[in-house]
Amino acid sequence: GENVEQHPSTLSVQEGDSAVIKCTYSDSASNYFPWYKQELGKGPQLIIDIRSNVGEKKDQRIAVTLNKTAKHFSLHITETQPEDSAVYFCAAPGSQGNLIFGKGTKLSVKP
């Protein structure tokens, strides 16, 4: 937590392609990494999360991978669809017990 870097800030893909968003964190003690999706005009919503005792977690077309040694984790979306277009945020625990969010990735899926 404390410092969470997210890349890229914007990502444009063709429908059906895969999309990957990467985040790095600074606190090696961090052990929980959620991903939130924010659709236009709405609040963020949790889509998947991973704890540090696993390296990968899948839920249908989305997956998250974690590399604790390198202190980075990634969101993978396969077979992208137009409804996947949104802003995606990664997050990690902060020192106050809160979540520190990355700066967001605006994903555009072109039909």
The residues that touch another protein, with contacts defined as CB under 8 A, are: 1, 32, 34, 36, 38, 41-46, 49, 87, 89, 91-94, 96-99, 101, 103-104, 106
With H, G, I as helix, E, B as strand and everything else as coil, classify residue 38.
strand
Q: In the bound complex, what is the minimum distance in angstroms from residue 6's beta carbon to another protein?
A: 10
Q: From CA 64, how far away is CA 73, in angstroms rounded?
A: 7
Contact 105, 21 (CB under 8 A): yes
Instruction: Locate 63 and state its tokens.
Output: 């997956």
From residue 23, alpha-carbon distances to 27, 41, 62, 69, 81 in Å are 13, 24, 16, 13, 22
Q: In the bound complex, what is the minimum distance in angstroms from residue 93's beta carbon to another protein?
A: 4
Q: Which is nearer to another protein, 71 or 106 (CB)?
A: 106
Q: In the bound complex, what is the minimum distance in angstroms from residue 4's beta carbon to another protein?
A: 11
Q: Which is nearer to another protein, 79 or 103 (CB)?
A: 103
